[in-house]
């Protein structure tokens, strides 16, 4: 089997040794065989792992389930998380690479459009996955061309209270922290949808 096929969300929905898990522990795509090399490698591995966790938490759900809100008055949903994290990935292009890349969803009229626009429509779900994957690929292209964790941002930073300069190390840690926080939200959202807690 093609390694990429083994890691698709559809395959993560198959039965496993433990019924509440997505894959058998020995087949978990987040686990790496080799030793991660250095600080940069460790940070990139954490980012990869949290991205996979988000995909696993969203796997096997239809548009209504993905768009289902947590509890009032929150507008949080798994679909909203996907849209929100696509915009977070876009920060690498805007802040680190200095590209002119406006927010995907947020606007002056609706600063919460990533959440508010996460509606139970298959076309919205398809667009969200396509956009998130495009933004993660753009992040990976940028990271593939920069080896020094001390590289400073080329664009204006919107992280922190004063938009101060930051380096790639800080940017990666901020992105990992954002994924970690939202994967915790995804745990609770998924459990509320179908009782699945997973790994």
Q: Which DSSP letter does residue 97 get?
A: S
d(C-alpha 32, C-alpha 7), whole Å: 13
Share of the chain above pLDDT 70, in %: 78
Task: Find residue 167's DSSP bridge partners.
Answer: 152
Neighbour count for residue 171 (Cβ, 10 Å): 23
Place of tokens 């002119």: 100
Nearest alpha-carbon partner for 55 in 78, 24, 32: 78
Residue pLDDT, tens place only, 12-29: 455 566 666 666 666 666
CA dihedral 61, 79, 52, 168 (to 10 degrees): 180
On the question of pLDDT at 11 being above 60, the answer is no
On the question of pLDDT at 69 being above 80, the answer is yes
Q: What is the CATH number of the domain that holds 54?
A: 1.20.120.450
With cut-offs at 50, 70 and 90, classify the pLDDT of residue 6.
Answer: very low
First-to-final CA distance of the chain? 24
- Specify whether the CB–CB gap between 92 and 113 falls below 8 A: no
- Specify whether the CB–CB gap between 96 and 104 falls below 8 A: no
- Specify whether the CB–CB gap between 190 and 20 falls below 8 A: no
Q: Is 152 left (phi over 0), alpha (psi -120 to 50) or beta?
A: beta
d(C-alpha 137, C-alpha 187), whole Å: 24
Q: How many domains does the chain have?
A: 1
Neighbour count for residue 83 (Cβ, 10 Å): 26
pTM confidence score: 0.84
On the question of pLDDT at 108 being above 60, the answer is yes
Residue pLDDT, tens place only, 143-160: 999 999 999 999 888 776
Residue 199 lies in a domain: no
Residue 103 lies in a domain: yes
Full residue range of the structural domain in which residue 60 is found: 3-31+40-194
């Amino acid at each position: 089997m093609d390694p990429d096929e083994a890691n698709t969300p559809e395959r993560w929905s198959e039965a496993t040794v433990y019924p509440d898990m997505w894959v058998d522990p020995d087949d978990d795509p987040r686990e790496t065989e080799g030793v991660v090399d250095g600080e940069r490698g460790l940070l990139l591995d954490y980012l990869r792992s949290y991205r996979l966790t988000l995909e696993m938490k969203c796997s096997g759900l239809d548009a209504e389930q993905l768009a289902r809100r947590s509890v009032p008055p929150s507008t949080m949903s798994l679909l909203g998380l996907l849209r929100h994290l696509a915009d977070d990935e876009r920060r690498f292009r805007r802040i680190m690479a200095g590209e002119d890349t406006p927010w995907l969803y947020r606007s002056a009229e609706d600063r919460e459009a990533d959440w508010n626009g996460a509606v139970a429509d298959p076309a919205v779900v398809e667009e969200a996955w396509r956009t998130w994957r495009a933004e993660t690929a753009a992040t990976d292209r940028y990271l593939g061309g920069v080896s020094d964790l001390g590289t400073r941002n080329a664009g204006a930073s919107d992280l922190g209270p004063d938009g101060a300069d930051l380096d790639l190390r800080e940017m990666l840690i901020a992105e990992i922290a954002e994924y970690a926080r939202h994967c915790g939200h995804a745990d609770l959202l998924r459990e509320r949808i179908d009782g699945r807690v997973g790994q």
